[in-house]
Amino acid sequence: MNKKNQTVMRKKHEINRDWLVLDASGKTLGRFASEVAKILRGKHKPGFTPNVDCGDGVIIINAEKIRVTGAKEAQKIYRYYTGYMGGMREIPFRTMKARKPEYIIRHAVLGMLPKTRLGYKFKKRLRIFAGEKHHFKPQKPIKVNI
């Protein structure tokens, strides 16, 4: 039997998780979010298995220093619906960046993850902080440059 051409399918108990710290300062929103989504899914590992949650945890710091290109700073709008009649709310990018910079990155990353039961597990390992400080020292996070 030829062992070198076999696909490795990881089991749930064979997964080793790490926590990675990513600095968002000066990064472009979409490119940064796609890298974060890739890490959450586990696609950066050689033993990636699509039907198993094999991704790492991600801690994002300096969320308020994320940037967008072109005219998106003035034109990008975040919309949500309150549930009431006429309850459509629109918040411009600049206002959202001042109020909740964590939401901007979370919204971009979650849009790139699958909307399944497995995708909802990925969401739980995403932590975003506006400043430098985070309280995940006991997890021994590894600082990564993207």
The string of pLDDT tens digits covering residues 3-43 is 677 777 888 888 889 999 999 999 999 999 999 999 999 99
pLDDT at residue 109 is higher than 80: yes
Neighbour tally for 17: CB within 10 Å: 12
Which pLDDT value is given to residue 37?
A: 97
What tokens appear for 17 in the block? 């998780």
Domains in the chain (CATH in brackets) are 17-68+96-144 (3.90.1180.10)
The string of pLDDT tens digits covering residues 43-70 is 999 888 899 999 999 999 999 999 999 9
31-35: list long-range contacts, CB under 8 Å, 24+ apart. 32/66, 32/105, 32/146, 33/105, 33/108, 33/109, 33/111, 33/112, 34/112, 35/146
What tokens appear for 13 in the block? 């108990």
CA distance 142 to 47: 20
Q: What's the whole-model pTM score?
A: 0.91
Confidence bin at 1 (pLDDT 50/70/90): low
CA distance 55 to 49: 10
